[in-house]
Amino acid sequence: MIRSRVAFVLLCICVPLFVFGGNGDKKKKKQEEKWLEDAEYYFEEGDFLRALPLYKNLSDAHPDDAYYHYQLGICYLYKDDEKDQAVVHLEKARDLEPDLPRINFYLGRAYHLNYRFDDAIASFNKSMTDDNPNDKEKKEIQRYIQYCNNAKVIMQDTADVQIRNVGYPVNTDNSEYAPVISIDETTLIFTYRGVRSTGGLQDAKFRPDSTGDYYEDIFVSQKVGDRWLDPDPISNNINTNHHDACVATSNDGQILFIFKSTAKDGGDLYMSTLNGDVWSTPVNLGPNVNTPYWEGSCSLSSDGQLLYFASDRPGGMGGRDIYVSHRQSDGTWGPAENLGPAVNTPYNDDAPFIHPDGINLFFCSEGHNSMGGYDLFYTHFKNGAWQTPVNLGYPVNTPSNERYYTLTADGGTGYYSSDRRGGLGQQDIYTVTPGFQGEPPILALVVGFVTVNGTPANAKIDVTDSANGNTYGNYHSNAMSGKYLIALKPGNTYKVAIEVDGFDPYFEYVNVKGLDTYVQVNKDYNFVTPGDSLPRDTTQKMQPMVADSNDVLQKKIDDQLKDIRAQQNDQVYEQRVYQQLLKRHGSDYDSTVNYVVDLGTYQDPKDFDSTKLTTMGPIHREVLPDGMVRYSVGPFKTMLDAELYRSQLANKDSTIASNSEVVVYKSGVRQTIPSYYHTEYRRKDYVPRTDTKVVMSRQGTLNTTIGSNYGYNQIVNDYGTFQADGLTYKLEISDPKDTVFFAQFGKIETKTYPDGHVRYYLGPWNTLKEADDFRTNLVAKDSVAAKSLVTVFYFGQRKTVPEFFASPPCNDMPVDLTWFKDKSLNDTAVYRKFLALTGNYCHDGLIYTVQIGAYRHPENFKYPQLADLGPADIRNYNDSITRFTMRQFKTIREAEAFRQVVIKRGITDAWITATYKGERKTLEELIDANFYGANIQ
């Protein structure tokens, strides 16, 4: 028998036969012989998980037997939730018997899977010298060494994402993988392999066998709120005793692409269509797609005209490659075209997913700069070619296998499967948010329902380019639900035609030529039959309900764009995300995290009136290093507890309540909510706030530091020409592999930080604007530059732009103001030039203030419109003129911003004056003294 032969050969080579005492237990011997026979059989067949418990029994019975530890360690390499045990048993085997075949190679694999990359490299190198590998084995070892080196680089820059296991009931202790998510994220279709598989345990010929395997079936789960419902088998028309796996769906969810295999073929791609709630019998995609070789994954473009798929057919780059086929006029698929070396490698490249925007392709690969096994990548189609693929990074990718990536239309959430550590089964389905790390997708997603007299209808929806009549896409609403879905790419005006049997078509035109963001709108179409007053035998086609002028698709898209523009205001955006955080994380508890309600920071503690808050609990007082006093309440265990307290403040003191905010203390370190929950703030142009200091008086807010609602673009606008001693700006390259692109524009500086992090820079520049302009020009040349960022170096210390400008130093570098002498600052052009040159300068002892009035009879000057801005400073000078000024500022830029506020309140002759060491000076006097080119006199 095969089992006996395998067992005998392995035993002769690797271990001595069992040795028992003369009076040994024959029953025990027989049991162990059976364990070994079965274990060797399963191991030889590659069924390591079935072999594992048998070797475990043997290892427990013979703890000093190197061979059992060796075999058991190899099996643990495939046990996703216990891969650490592979290290334990393989090290034990090596210690007991250093000359075991390829022990160093398997130890290297164990270290690699457990993130011990340097140990793995050392073991692989030892395997090259000690294990006498053949040429094939040498290539394998070299490949694993490259995996380790890739991982060390990738993990230096952790992707700013959240990974979540989808969890029960989707994931179980069986295998769930290859998720297919509808682009509106309401339906999850996935491949399952376990106890619920059709046919149960079967042998290689799909016959019942209690020692066989479970084969693939397709399951479906629907989402209700934030919860996935219990999944069900998709259909008896699809699931069989053979392999049936889902690989893709059309954007409208009406077509499902399936991998099917039998004992007679390597596996082909099929298509099933949804009629109501019934899936049709799958149809083979034809000879241009399927061959006698393996074709096992695919993705359909949003217009239905391109099919991307993977195959291991001859003639490729090596292993599995990704191909594309064009739909022919008769509906069949044309000859396959290899995507070429930009995407495909000598190793396996698989599982393509083309985003509905048509220009971003996701796939998995064992090549490129994979961390090990399959990693997830994306590539962007630009200027007629696919760009260099980008690794999605850690923690999306790990040394294990990550495959089958799919993404919601807005790029908010990605779904994929992995056999990483910590899963519920052999393979589990995970989500990553945000799901898209490149430039956000630009798309108009239109979803809705088509009905006839309120009943769901099966409608044909044809979308054409209105300029030339070319077909963009053909869609259908679901006959059972009436639901439809269309994804429109930017750059065109489209004609949307909805046809229902027995009715005239209904047309709408949609202009998305200038679309520059993602929008999603709901639009329903209701077709109505004529009223009872019309003849029953009329042959005239019935008309759809005419859309109200306020309900046309174009207006819905335009209104959605207006809403998006409004939400891009930082304050609106922060508030919206904050409310989402309260829903998702409001009740989260972490013993290392506390929440505190800040009541305000005051220059003068007497300005804080706590009399109305006596019943609101103890108030904490903290004197800050700059002498300001901050008042707060807390700590609270959850964010929701803190927010509930904050909401109650409004009933006590509306002024304090409106300026209060919830902040986080993590292990004693203070952070704002946007800083602590930074991954939830996904907008690309948003810079999470750092600590915000709001300086208060009895009348309300006096001043807010730059940390509050202050984005990068605004900093560039306000501080673009800012200079100071020891200050430079550099362009930081986020991905080491992009250095080839950047190297053509200058010498790249490599800097290793104390934590081991290596960063790459171009530069330096003297001003932020110069560095930002350089970056903007590079982005125009290639989108790869969009991942770079401008960073600040102040006397050699690296800071981000928002960090540095949260409290910038004085810019007191000399500047010649001779040009401004004899010029009038009332001249708008002169004043603008003056602000641009000196707006960010400051000097010890020099304070700027805004003068709101100067009168010989001050009793006649009233300014009630400014009462909420704080008290005025009223001083009578030697010239018998009483001057009214408000606020004090370090820079002219800050003073000018407040002056504009005053002007809008009706004080149109407001002006900026200065005080130097207690002496009042006009701006003209400072110019005459050349106040940043020489000492002020």
Average pLDDT over residues 783-810: 80
How sure is the predictor about 3, in pLDDT bands with cuts at 50, 70 and 90? very low
Average pLDDT over residues 10-23: 43
Tens digit of each residue's pLDDT (9 = 90 or more) over 113-132? 999 999 999 999 999 998 88
| pLDDT at residue number 932 | 61
- Type of residue at 83: K
| pLDDT at residue number 109 | 95
The candidate with the shortest Cα–Cα distance to 800, out of 706, 691, 687, is 687
| pLDDT at residue number 161 | 83
Could you write out the DSSP letters of every residue in 794-820?
A: ETTEEEEHHHHHTSPPPB------GGG
What count of residues does the chain have? Answer: 937
Q: Is pLDDT at 770 greater than 80 in this prediction?
A: yes
| pLDDT at residue number 16 | 42
| pLDDT at residue number 190 | 94
How sure is the predictor about 281, in pLDDT bands with cuts at 50, 70 and 90? very high
| pLDDT at residue number 1 | 28
Q: Which of 429-438, 495-504, 519-528, 832-841 has the lowest mean pLDDT?
A: 832-841
How sure is the predictor about 17, in pLDDT bands with cuts at 50, 70 and 90? very low
| pLDDT at residue number 566 | 66
Is residue 858 a contact partner of residue 882, using CB atoms and an 8 Å limit? yes
Tens digit of each residue's pLDDT (9 = 90 or more) over 534-558? 444 444 555 555 444 456 888 888 8
Q: Which of 190-199, 341-350, 736-745 has the lowest mean pLDDT?
A: 736-745
Tokens of 202: 């079967």
Model confidence, pTM: 0.64
More confidently predicted of 48 and 932: 48
| pLDDT at residue number 645 | 87
Listed ranges 139-153, 406-420, 637-651, 753-767; the one with the highest mean pLDDT: 139-153
How far, in Å, are 54, 275, 475, 849, 930 from residue 817 at the CA level? 87, 78, 67, 21, 5
Average pLDDT over residues 837-859: 81
| pLDDT at residue number 302 | 87
CB atoms within 10 A of CB 318: 14
Compute the distance between CA of residue 70 and CA of residue 323 in angstroms, rounded to an integer: 41
CB atoms within 10 A of CB 554: 14
Residues 890-900 as b/e (b if ≥16 CB within 10 A, e otherwise) read bbbbbbbebbe
Is residue 697 a contact partner of residue 691, using CB atoms and an 8 Å limit? no
Q: Which of 546-555, 811-820, 871-880 has the lowest mean pLDDT?
A: 546-555
Q: Which of 74-88, 178-192, 439-453, 834-848 has the lowest mean pLDDT?
A: 834-848
How far, in Å, are 278, 447, 718, 910, 911 from residue 897 at the CA level? 64, 45, 11, 12, 11
Q: SS3 string of 337-406? A: EECCCCCCCCCCEEEEEECCCCCEEEEEECCCCCCCCCEEEEEEEECCEECCCEECCCCCCCCCCEEEEE
Tens digit of each residue's pLDDT (9 = 90 or more) over 577-621? 888 888 888 888 888 899 999 888 887 777 787 777 877 788 888
The candidate with the shortest Cα–Cα distance to 928, out of 814, 812, 819, 813, is 819
Tens digit of each residue's pLDDT (9 = 90 or more) over 718-755? 677 777 767 899 999 877 778 888 888 888 888 877 66
How sure is the predictor about 178, in pLDDT bands with cuts at 50, 70 and 90? very high
Average pLDDT over residues 413-422: 87
Average pLDDT over residues 494-500: 92
Compute the distance between CA of residue 582 and CA of residue 60 in angstroms, rounded to an integer: 50
Tell me the three state secondary structure of residue 456.
strand
Q: What percent of the chain has pLDDT over 70?
A: 88
| pLDDT at residue number 537 | 47
Compute the distance between CA of residue 204 and CA of residue 761 in angstroms, rounded to an integer: 56
Compute the distance between CA of residue 337 and CA of residue 347 in angstroms, rounded to an integer: 18
* Average pLDDT of the chain to the nearest whole number: 83
Average pLDDT over residues 660-671: 86
Q: Which of 230-234, 512-516, 810-814 has the lowest mean pLDDT?
A: 810-814
Compute the distance between CA of residue 262 and CA of residue 680 in angstroms, rounded to an integer: 45
More confidently predicted of 871 and 270: 270
Q: Which of 212-216, 590-594, 713-717, 911-915 has the lowest mean pLDDT?
A: 713-717
Output Rg (C-alpha) for the chain, integer angstroms: 35
